[in-house]
Amino acid sequence: MLTFIIYKSILVLIVFLISLGVAAYATYGERKVAAFMQDRIGPDRAGPFGIFQPLADGLKMFMKEEIIPTVSNKFLFILGPSLAMLTALMAGVVVPWGGKLAIGDHFYPLQITDINIGILYVFGVVSFGVYGIMIGGWASNNKYSLLGALRASSQMISYEIAMGLAIVALVMKTGTLSLGEMVAQQGTGGWWNIVYQPLGFLIFLICAFAETNRAPFDLPECETELVGGYHTEYSSMKLGFYLFAEYINIFISSAVISTLYFGGFNLPFQSHIPLDGNWLVIAQTAFFFGKVIFFIFFFMWVRWTIPRFRYDQLMNLGWKILIPLAIFNILATGVLMYALGKV
C-alpha cells in the first residue's frame, strides 16, 4: 500500500513537472517556430540558441510588479488564473504515457490512473476550464476583459458539443471510455483509430483548437480587437499562469489526440520491432512524446498561418457545420458498423 502511494505520488510529480516543463519550452518553441516561419531568428540571447529563454521569462514574470486594479474584485481576480492553471494540470491524470515498466517483480504502469470513464473525465475537466477565463475576465472590471470572457465562455461551450459528438463516434467504434483500453486496442493488431475515424479526428482537432483558444479561434484574447482579452489587466505571474495554462492545455490536448486517434504510445509495426521489456516501454514513451511534440508544433504551425474568425462566423462554424458533421459521422459510423456486422 505504501509503495503504491509513493509510486503514484512520484508519477504525479513527474507528470506535473513534465507538464510545466513542456509548457515552458512550448513558449520558447512558439517563439522559435514563429520566427522561423517569418524569416527571423527568434530568442537567441539566453544561452546557446536561447534555450534558457523560458527560465529568463519565468524569472521576469516573478520579478515584475504585481498590479491588481483597485476597482476589481480581488478574490476573484486571483482565483481566475489559479483556476485556469488548476484545470489545465488536472487533465493529465488519465493520459497513458507509456506501457508497464517492470522493476523487480512489480509492474509499474506509466499512467496515473486508468479510470473506466477516462475520456469523460478529460471532457469534464475541459468543460470546467472555462471558469478560469470567465472569472478572471469578469473580475478585471474592464470592458475588453469582459468581452473576452463572454466570447470565451460561449465559444468553449459551443465547441464542447461538437467535440463530445466526435468522441461519441469514436466510443462507438472502440466500445470503451477508458483511455488505457483504447490504446491497448490500437496496439494489438488493429489499425490506429485515425483510419476508422478521419472525419471524427478532423472535428476533434478543430474543437481542440477552439477549446485551447488557439488561432484561428483565439477570439477571447485577440490582441488586435480586445487588446489582451480576458488577461488585459493581468500582470506578473498571474498573467504567466494564464499563458502557462494555455500551453499546458495544448500539451494535454496533443497528448489526448495522440492517444485517441494515433495509437497512443504504440509504435507503428510494433510487432516487428525487436525490442522487449523495459526498452520497448521506453521507446514507446519516447515515441509518444514525439507524437505530442508534433501536434504541439502543428498547433503553432496553424497559428502562424491563418487568420482568425469573427465571433458570429465562429458560432456558425461550430453550430451549423461541425455539429451536423459530427452527427453525420455518428450516423455513418453506426451504419458502417452495422453493415460490417460489428454490432
Binding mask 189-218 for other proteins (x = CB under 8 A): --------------------------xx-x
Please say which residue, 249 or 266, places its beta carbon nearer to other proteins.
249
Q: How many residues does the chain have?
A: 343
Bridge partner residues of 109 (DSSP)? 100
CB of 222 to other proteins, least distance (A): 6
| Contact between 138 and other proteins per CB under 8 A | yes
| Contact between 88 and other proteins per CB under 8 A | no
Q: In this structure, what C-alpha cell is assigned to residue 52?
A: 534558457
Binding mask 34-73 for other proteins (x = CB under 8 A): xxxxxxxx--x----------------------------x
- Give the CA-trace dihedral at 212, 125, 157, 208, to 10 degrees: 30
Amino acid occupying residue 240: G
CB of 66 to other proteins, least distance (A): 22
Contact residue for other proteins among 7, 49, 52, 311 (CB under 8 A): 311
| Contact between 302 and other proteins per CB under 8 A | yes
| Contact between 143 and other proteins per CB under 8 A | yes
Contact residue for other proteins among 12, 56, 76, 327 (CB under 8 A): 76
Measured CA angle at 36 (ends 32, 39), to 5 deg: 135
| Contact between 131 and other proteins per CB under 8 A | yes
| Contact between 24 and other proteins per CB under 8 A | no
Please say which residue, 248 or 317, places its beta carbon nearer to other proteins.
317
Please say which residue, 134 or 166, places its beta carbon nearer to other proteins.
134
DSSP one-letter string for 132-176: HHHHHHHHTT-HHHHHHHHHHHHHHHHHHHHHHHHHHHHHHHH--
Contact segment (CB under 8 A) with other proteins among 97-105, 116-124, 277-285, 328-336 equals 116-124
3-state secondary structure of 41: coil
| Contact between 188 and other proteins per CB under 8 A | no
**Dist CA 25 CA 19 (whole Å):** 10
Q: Are 303 and 246 in contact (CB under 8 A)?
A: no
Q: Are 179 and 117 in contact (CB under 8 A)?
A: no
111-148 burial by CB neighbour count: b if 16+ within 10 A, else e?
bbebeeebbbbbbebbbebbbbbbbbbbbbbbebbbbb
Contact segment (CB under 8 A) with other proteins among 112-120, 264-272, 273-281, 332-340 equals 112-120
The answer to whether the peptide bond before residue 216 is cis (omega within 30 degrees of 0) is yes
Closest CA to 261 of 199, 341, 339: 199
Closest CA to 126 of 2, 209, 244, 197: 209
CB of 303 to other proteins, least distance (A): 9
Closest CA to 164 of 340, 323, 35, 307: 323
Contact residue for other proteins among 51, 304, 327, 332 (CB under 8 A): 304
Residues that bind other proteins (CB under 8 A): 33-41, 44, 73, 76, 79, 115-117, 120-121, 123-124, 127-128, 130-131, 134-135, 138, 143-144, 146-147, 149-150, 153-154, 157, 160, 177, 215-216, 218, 222-227, 301-302, 304-313
